[in-house]
Each structure stands twice: as structure tokens, then as C-alpha cells.
């Protein structure tokens, strides 16, 4: 009974400590005229912010230089996708535009909750800015300093909101654990009247109470500093302005339509995608094609009237590609499996070989049978095996990067459904998505023919070595003298 009475007192004290709030911490009852705060939508908004920030960072000078000098000039891209630089850069631009469109759709959904009628019309204003360059509200950020300030502000909000989410989860776990301990003690209070056990249980309850108290203080502080307690309209206008600014940046980088002169100064000549002749005294001297339509615009005129419509159309794979046949991811996995086998053919068993054959579509099986027709079963020429290894290494040198990029690109898109941002900047043009199906299958068939030869060569060499070893051991046994009785 003594333990039960003590537990009741502890429970009452804890409940009072949870429910009671010091008078100085009490807030006035909000009036109907007060601005609505973000609240629990902070986590969704932080995700949208993260995507916009990642997209902005993907449009940095260094990334654009890498796209122009590395991604577009990949040997595999040139061999089985296209050697037309304008087309490839158009694909890069279209993918950036599509990523922005998806993020802007989230901003549109959030803007419908705003009190400001201008923010509610964000979608219409955004499409107008994309198609004509008109920005009647002046939402595009006006210069590098303002852009940098907003960038840091959003990064801080994202970091604090992510920390808030983590702390709230930890608080929930602590409170759940406290309730379990309290219920357990109440249930077993009649079975144990030991004074030492009583003190231990009281101490454990007190420690849990203190942890919960300090976690609540931490959560409260993070709510004040993160997106949680910010004005809803104030946060949405931040998303709106940054969406406009990212769109302006895309147009500056790829030299499309009417770009912002202030943003033009932030882009060096080396990072421009479409160089054109410029006037040295022009305010846009640091950016190519910002005030006139580039070759990319001319290529898109037949694809649709709107900026986003034309770019979405450009991302649809032609019928001759792996993307149109829905084989890009499957072929990427197939190439990676063959790459591992080619590196270690002596470790490939009959089951693995049969599994590989089971992965082949009918078109490649037919091509492989035609190539292997008339080929003998003997594979004992080390020179020919070496030549095949060199040939396979060259093919994998340009084909393997596209396969690995395909896996990365796909995993990022799946990962992005549950996380804030992807980890790398792999573009669709660097994958097998736009690869020519016929050329890719020819390369895969060549890999299979070469793998077949070096696999049989390794097996024959292994069998020969085992046979010679067995003969040698037999010879030693024959020559061994019999023991003298």
C-alpha cells in the first residue's frame, strides 16, 4: 500500500508538471486577425525547400561546366545516344525544367492556403513568367546578394526543421516509454513492497520525467526558430520567389528567352552553354544568349507553345530508344552483371551462366545464336583470349558508366519519395534511357560473345591444370619405393 500511495503521488506530481505552465510562458489567446503559422506543414514545406535548393545548386557554374565538358562528351553518350551537342544540352535543360515544374506544383498546392490573393495565383503567374518572361509582382530575386541571403535563410530553415522532426520523434519515444514504466509499476505495486525496489522505481520515473521535460524545452525552442512558428504566407512567398529565381537561372544558363540581367552577372563566360557574339559594353556581357533566342529555342518551337510543355515533350524518348521500350533499367542491370563476370570469369558457375542467359530478351538471344553459330567448342588460344579481354574492356569502358548512371538515376528518384533530396547530380542524358536500342543490343551481344570465349578458356585451362596435377601425383605414387618389410 505504501508503494501504491507513493506512485499515485509521483503520477499526480508528474501530471501537474506536464499540464501546468509558468505564467510568464503563457501566450495570449490568438485573435482572429492574427497571421496563421505553418505548424505541422513545416515538414512538407522543408522538403519542397530542399528540392529547390538542390536544383539551384545543380545550376552552379561548376556543374554547368561539368555538363558541357564531361557529360555531353562521354564516349558512351556519343556512341549510342547522340553526338548532337545541341540536342544533348536540350535534354539537360528539359530535365532541369521538369524538376522545377514538379517542385513548383508543390508550391502551387501550398499557395492555395494563403490569405494573399496574389500568392493564390502563383501558378498562373509562374507559367506566364516561364512563357513570356513577365514578372508583374517582381518575385524573381533582384541580385546576387539578395539571392545569397534568401539561400542561407532557406538552408537554415531546412536544417532546423529537420532537427525539430528528429527531436519530436525522440520525445514521442520517451513519453511512450514513460507511460509503459508507469503502467508497469502500477500493475506490479501490490506484488512488491521492498523498500529498495521502491526507491529504484521512483528514481527511474524521476529520470524519465527530467528527460521529457528537457526534450519538451528543446522542441519548443526549435519550433520558435524553425518553419513551425513562421507566418504561413511569409514562408510561401519565400518558396514563390525562389521558384521564380531558379526558373530565371535555367533560362540564363541555357540562353533561353528573356533572362534577368542581374542574374546574368553571376554566371561566368566559361559556364555558359550556348556561346554567342556579345557586345563588350552590354550589361549582359557575362552571359551568352540571355536577350535573344538560342538554337535550343528554335529546336523547341515545334514541340509546344509553352516552356514547360516543350521541355516535357523533349523528355519523351523516341521509339528507337531503350526508354521507349522500357528496357533501360533492365539492360543496365544486365550490363553490370556481365561486367562482374568479365572481371572474374573463373568464378562464374553454370548456374550463374544460366541465370544470365535467362535475363536476355529474345532479340539478344537471336543475335547471340547467330554470332555463335559455327564457333567451335575449343577455347584454348591464350592470345585470342587476351584480345577478347582487351576488346571487352574497351566496350565496358564506355558502356558501363551509362549503366551505373541508370541505376543511380533510378534509385535517386525512388529515394526522393521518402527523403528530402537526391545525393548526386546524374542527368538522364548520362544514362541508357535515350540510348539507341539496336546499338545497345549490338554492344551487349559483343560482350556476351567475348564472355563466352574467355569463360570457356578459363574452364579449359582449369581442367587442364587439374588433369596435369592428377597425372603428376599419380607419377609420384608410382615412383615411390615400397616400404621394406
pLDDT per residue as tens digits for the range 148-181: 999 999 999 999 999 999 999 998 888 888 888 7
Write out the three cell numbers for 475.
Answer: 607419377
Q: Could you identify the residue written with the cell 514547360?
A: 308
pLDDT in tens, 110-135: 999 999 999 999 999 999 999 999 99
Give the separation between CA 106 and CA 50, rounded to whole angstroms.
Answer: 12
Write out the three cell numbers for 315.
Answer: 523528355
Query: Which residues are within 8 A (CB) of 192 and not within 5 positions of it... i.e. 6 or more apart?
Result: 3
Residue 233 CB-half CA count within 13 A? 11
Give the separation between CA 282 and CA 351, rounded to whole angstroms.
Answer: 68
CA dist list (Å): 141 to 135, 159, 263: 11, 22, 9
Name the nearest CA neighbour of 452 among 342, 299, 318: 342
Write out the three cell numbers for 345.
Answer: 570469369
Give just the sign of the alpha carbon dihedral 236, 242, 245, 249.
negative
Query: Which residues are within 8 A (CB) of 29 and not within 5 positions of it... i.e. 6 or more apart?
Result: none
pLDDT at 412: 82
Task: Determine the longest span between alpha carbons in the chain, in angstroms.
Answer: 115
pLDDT in tens, 314-364: 999 999 999 999 999 999 999 999 999 999 888 888 888 889 999 999 999
pLDDT at 379: 62
pLDDT in tens, 25-48: 444 444 444 578 999 999 999 999
361 DSSP 8-state letter: -
Write out the three cell numbers for 277.
Answer: 557574339
Hey, what's the torsion of the CAs at 299, 425, 322, 251, to 10 degrees?
Answer: -10
Give the separation between CA 6 and CA 14, rounded to whole angstroms.
Answer: 12
pLDDT at 185: 66
Beta carbons of 385 and 410 less than 8 angstroms apart: no
Give the separation between CA 224 and CA 160, rounded to whole angstroms.
Answer: 10
Name the nearest CA neighbour of 399 among 320, 335, 442: 335
Beta carbons of 157 and 49 less than 8 angstroms apart: yes
Beta carbons of 44 and 50 less than 8 angstroms apart: no
**pLDDT interval class at 18 (50, 70, 90):** very low
CA dist list (Å): 56 to 66, 97, 252, 420: 15, 12, 12, 14
pLDDT at 423: 64
Q: What percent of the chain has pLDDT over 90?
A: 52
How long a stretch of residues is the chain? 485
When the pLDDT of each residue in the chain is averaged and rounded to a whole number, the result is: 79
pLDDT above 90 for 286:
no
pLDDT above 60 for 287:
no
Beta carbons of 46 and 157 less than 8 angstroms apart: yes
What residue spans of 112-194 are helical by DSSP H? 117-120, 122-132, 144-187
Q: Which residue did the predictor score with more confidence, 78 or 290?
A: 78
Q: Is 243 exposed, middle or buried (0-12, 13-18, 19+ CB in 10 A)?
A: buried
Write out the three cell numbers for 76.
Answer: 558512351
Name the nearest CA neighbour of 65 among 248, 270, 275: 270
CA dist list (Å): 67 to 70, 290, 446: 6, 19, 30
pLDDT at 203: 75
Amino acid at each position: 500500500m505504501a508503494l501504491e500511495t507513493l506512485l499515485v503521488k509521483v503520477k499526480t506530481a508528474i501530471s501537474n508538471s506536464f499540464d501546468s505552465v509558468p505564467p510568464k510562458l503563457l501566450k495570449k489567446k490568438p485573435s482572429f486577425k492574427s497571421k496563421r503559422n505553418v505548424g505541422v506543414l513545416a515538414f512538407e514545406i522543408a522538403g519542397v525547400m530542399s528540392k529547390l535548393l538542390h536544383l539551384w545548386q545543380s545550376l552552379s557554374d561548376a556543374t554547368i561546366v561539368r555538363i558541357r565538358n564531361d557529360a555531353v562528351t562521354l564516349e558512351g553518350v556519343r556512341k549510342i545516344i547522340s553526338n548532337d551537342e545541341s540536342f544533348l544540352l536540350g535534354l539537360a535543360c528539359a530535365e532541369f525544367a521538369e524538376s522545377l515544374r514538379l517542385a513548383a506544383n508543390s508550391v502551387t498546392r501550398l499557395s492555395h492556403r494563403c490569405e494573399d490573393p496574389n500568392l493564390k495565383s502563383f501558378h498562373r503567374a509562374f507559367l506566364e513568367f516561364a512563357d513570356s518572361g513577365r514578372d508583374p509582382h517582381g518575385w524573381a530575386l533582384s541580385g546576387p546578394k539578395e539571392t545569397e541571403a534568401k539561400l542561407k535563410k532557406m538552408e537554415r530553415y531546412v536544417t532546423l526543421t529537420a532537427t525539430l522532426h528528429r527531436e519530436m520523434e525522440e520525445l514521442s519515444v520517451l513519453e511512450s516509454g514513460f507511460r509503459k514504466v508507469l503502467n508497469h509499476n502500477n500493475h506490479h505495486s501490490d506484488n512488491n513492497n521492498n523498500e529498495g525496489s521502491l526507491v529504484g522505481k521512483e528514481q527511474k520515473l524521476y529520470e524519465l520525467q527530467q528527460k521529457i521535460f528537457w526534450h519538451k524545452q528543446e522542441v519548443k525552442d526549435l519550433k520558435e526558430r524553425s518553419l513551425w512558428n513562421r507566418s504561413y504566407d511569409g514562408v510561401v512567398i519565400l518558396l514563390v520567389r525562389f521558384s521564380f529565381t531558379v526558373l530565371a537561372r535555367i533560362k540564363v544558363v541555357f540562353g533561353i528567352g528573356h533572362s534577368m540581367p542581374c542574374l546574368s552577372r553571376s554566371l561566368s563566360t566559361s559556364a555558359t552553354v550556348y556561346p554567342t557574339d556579345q557586345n563588350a559594353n552590354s550589361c549582359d556581357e557575362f552571359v551568352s544568349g540571355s536577350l535573344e533566342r538560342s538554337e535550343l529555342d528554335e529546336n523547341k518551337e515545334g514541340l509546344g507553345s509553352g516552356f514547360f510543355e516543350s521541355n516535357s515533350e523533349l523528355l519523351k524518348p523516341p521509339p528507337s530508344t531503350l526508354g521507349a521500350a522500357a528496357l533501360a533499367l533492365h539492360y543496365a542491370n544486365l550490363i553490370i552483371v556481365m561486367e562482374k563476370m568479365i572481371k572474374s570469369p573463373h568464378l562464374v558457375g553454370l548456374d550463374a551462366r544460366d541465370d544470365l542467359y535467362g535475363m536476355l530478351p529474345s532479340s539478344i538471344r537471336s543475335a547471340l545464336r547467330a554470332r555463335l553459330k559455327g564457333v567451335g567448342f575449343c577455347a584454348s588460344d591464350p592470345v585470342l583470349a587476351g584480345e577478347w579481354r582487351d576488346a571487352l574492356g574497351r566496350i565496358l569502358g564506355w558502356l558501363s558508366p551509362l549503366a551505373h548512371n541508370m541505376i543511380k538515376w533510378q534509385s535517386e528518384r525512388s529515394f526522393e519519395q521518402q527523403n528530402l533530396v537526391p545525393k548526386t547530380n546524374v542527368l538522364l542524358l548520362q544514362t541508357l534511357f535515350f540510348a539507341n536500342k539496336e546499338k545497345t543490343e549490338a554492344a551487349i551481344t559483343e560482350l556476351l560473345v567475348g564472355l563466352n570465349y574467355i569463360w570457356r578458356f578459363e574452364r579449359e585451362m582449369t581442367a587442364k591444370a587439374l588433369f596435369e596435377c592428377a597425372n603428376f601425383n599419380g607419377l609420384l605414387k608410382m615412383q615411390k619405393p615400397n616400404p621394406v618389410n
